[in-house]
Amino acid sequence: MQRAGKQLNGVVVAHANLGKASLHKNSYSRRMPETRVYDLHTHTFYSDGALAPAELVMRAAANGVHVLALTDHDVTDGVPEAQVAALQAGITLVPGVEISVTWGAQTVHVVGLQIDIAHPGLQAGLARLREFREWRAEEIGRRLAKAGIPGAIEGARSRAQRGLVSRTHFAQFLVAAGHAADVRSVFKKYLVYGKPGYVPGEWAGLDEAIGWIRAAGGQAVLAHPARYKITATRLKKLLGEFRDVGGAAIEVVSGSHSRDDMFRFAQLASSYGLLASSGSDFHGPHNYYMDLGPMPPLPDGCTPVWQTWGTGVPAVGSLSAHRPVVG
């Protein structure tokens, strides 16, 4: 059984409803190996990553990636540079973005793949989120100063190479200033709910973010679902709403997913008629999840999101047909 498809870069994409396919933990050995390596979730210094877009692409190529998506948080400024670098490196660059979403009281992330970065509706929405990010950075700085840590906003900005200040930049400052041993410790001590530097997000609605992605010709992917601290009941509600408003896929393989997580979300993808994606969520050489390079294969029963692209994916070594826009 299939749900209705949609037009994606000239290719009709059908969201396969696969039913409750059998997923076994020994299915790695039975699945046909992919001939190309896909990494569809990465970041550069245009958001909270460490590398320039060209550096990201070169590292991906050196590590054996054939198809790379650049998915910075709420900004697409790095895509044009990455497209040029991909042409030089002989790999495929998929234009993408990772959109911050408020769902209930929960912040979730939705990756857009195969987007037209020139689309005005998408860019207007992302600009609104970046305005909130700037206000939030100022507010985090004020709250940390009130807690006895002055200079946090200045320290965070000095680490944000391209202007978008994230909580990661605050964490890097706090580690350097001796307030915590590592970035993970900073989040637990200062930046999560109930801690001195916590500021709740006011992001896009789920339907809003997916609408921007679809209007820009892309597919919406629920990022790293195992990271969301919600009950199984609420997770199922999230997946149902995500699918019903036009979501296409979920990240089954993620740098932050355990092996058990992969099988769990492979089963959920199948049950909800969603495609499966794979991405490292690479932020830089310091990345504590996963480096760029070959990922664990998708378990049996999944339909990879890239199988729906057909001729919508540029050939290896070609520039995307999307017109680059920095903004």
d(CA 139, CA 158): 17
DSSP reduced 3-state for 282? strand
Look at 158-162, 195-199, 274-278 and tell me which has the smallest mean pLDDT.
Answer: 158-162
Average of per-residue pLDDT across 89-113: 96
For residue 290, what pLDDT is reported?
A: 78
The pLDDT value recorded for residue 131 is 93
Which has the higher per-residue pLDDT, 248 or 162? 248
Domains belonging to the chain, first-starting first, are 6-113+207-312 (3.20.20.140)
Residue, of 120 and 198, whose pLDDT is higher: 120
Alpha helices, DSSP H, located in 100-149: 120-146
For residue 228, the tally of other CB atoms under 10 A from its CB is 16
- Predicted TM-score (pTM) of this structure: 0.81
Mean pLDDT value across residues 6-10? 36
What is the average pLDDT across 77-105? 96
φ/ψ region of 273 (left if φ > 0, alpha if ψ in -120 to 50, else beta) reads left
List, for residues 174-194, the tens digit of each pLDDT value: 988 999 888 888 888 988 888
pLDDT tens column, 260-319 = 999 999 999 999 999 999 999 999 887 656 789 888 999 988 999 999 997 545 433 333
**DSSP string computed for 142-182:** HHHHHTT-TTHHHHHHHH-TTS---HHHHHHHHHHTTS-SS
Q: Is 302 helix (H, G, I), strand (E, B) or coil?
A: coil
